[in-house]
Amino acid sequence: MTGHDSLERLVTPPAAPVDARGDWTAAETVLSTQLPDDYKWLVERYGWGEFCDFLYLRTPFGTSEYNGLTWQSGDLSGVPERDRRRFPYPLHPAPGGLLIWGTTVNADRLCWLTTGTPRSWPVVVWSSEGWYETHPMGAAEFINGWADGRVSSALLGDMEPDLAPWFNAFRPRAHRCLQLSAGPLAHPERLLILREALAPTTDRGAWRSENGEMGQSCFATVSTDWMLTYDVSRPHQIRIEFPPEDREQVRRRLFAAVQLMGCEVLRITTADGTALPTWDTATDEE
């Protein structure tokens, strides 16, 4: 089994990768360098998106300002002053400079150290705190190793061992938060009802405080690509992200689930807590 086969078996690629196709020669001309073959395979199979809601893969294609291989000017004008004081590497296109191919949810940067031929470029984790960590492997091997627990990173932390790794292609999403009354059932019972109403679902992680009074459960729907977070309390709420075209289907199924849970919807808000008069109110998040 090749490294590519291993990653595909571990993390299923999306059926329709986003910003995954384009003119590689033109992209390399803009960057003034060839790019590693394993990265090209990653882009073509997975496209722009995120592994395990944490590692974000960038591509050189598309028009989004949030995608692309960044900081190609060779200076530190975009780097915070605190990072410059302990910056051990130049930036691409300076010889041997860092070239960013990904980021994380914590604003860490995933880079190549562009020394030698592209196939030999190691991965450098450049943390949001300005620290560095080098891994002698390519981008595909690094993602594969991090996702299956073989590659450990003191700066990124490790993949949760009990979760099956996944990939989400970037796409426009609407965000809603339903704040709920407590209802007569305990949280585990309400969570079970919620997941059964939206089945099939798959785990995306969970946490609880020591006394069990606070925490959240994250999961995703398998067939409809909705992502949910159910908070235990303070406040008691369900947060959901979904493709905007599913808005009515989400409203119908989610409100029916809340009723089965024995709860009432007290308030509808955006992800940042802005109150909405109705579920269908358009927001800037969509």
* pLDDT for residue 75: 45
Task: State the Cα–Cα distance between residues 18 and 69, nearest whole angstrom.
Answer: 15
Question: Regarding beta strands 132-135 and 167-169, do their DSSP bridges make them parallel or antiparallel, or are they unpaired?
Answer: unpaired
Among the listed residues 45, 52, 54, the one whose alpha carbon sits nearest the alpha carbon of residue 17: 45
Is the pLDDT score of 154 beyond 80?
yes
Q: What is the pLDDT of residues 226-247, one digit of tens each?
A: 999 999 877 799 999 999 999 9
- For the beta sheet containing 237-242, the strands, ordered from the edge strand earlier in sequence to the opposite edge, are 201-208, 215-221, 227-231, 237-242, 174-180, 265-269
Residue 153 near residue 133 (C-beta atoms within 8 A): yes
Task: State the Cα–Cα distance between residues 57 and 51, nearest whole angstrom.
Answer: 8
* pLDDT for residue 66: 85
Q: Give the ranges where the chain is alpha helix by DSSP (H).
A: 3-10, 24-31, 37-46, 81-84, 139-148, 187-197, 247-260
pLDDT (average), residues 113-130: 92
Q: 2 falls in which pLDDT band (50, 70, 90)?
A: very low
pLDDT (average), residues 79-84: 56
Q: Which residue has the tokens 């605190």?
A: 82
44's CB contacts (< 8 A; 6+ apart) are: 17, 20, 21
153 is written with which tokens? 């990173």
Is the pLDDT score of 1 beyond 60?
no
Among the listed residues 160, 89, 156, 88, the one whose alpha carbon sits nearest the alpha carbon of residue 127: 156
Percent of the chain at pLDDT > 70 equals 91
What pTM does this model have?
0.80
* pLDDT for residue 71: 47
In the three-class reduction of DSSP (H, G, I as helix; E, B as strand; rest coil), residue 60 is classed as coil
Report the chain's terminal Cα–Cα distance, integer Å. 41
Task: State the Cα–Cα distance between residues 195 and 265, nearest whole angstrom.
Answer: 17
Q: 147 falls in which pLDDT band (50, 70, 90)?
A: very high
Residue scoring higher pLDDT (125 or 211): 125
* pLDDT for residue 158: 84
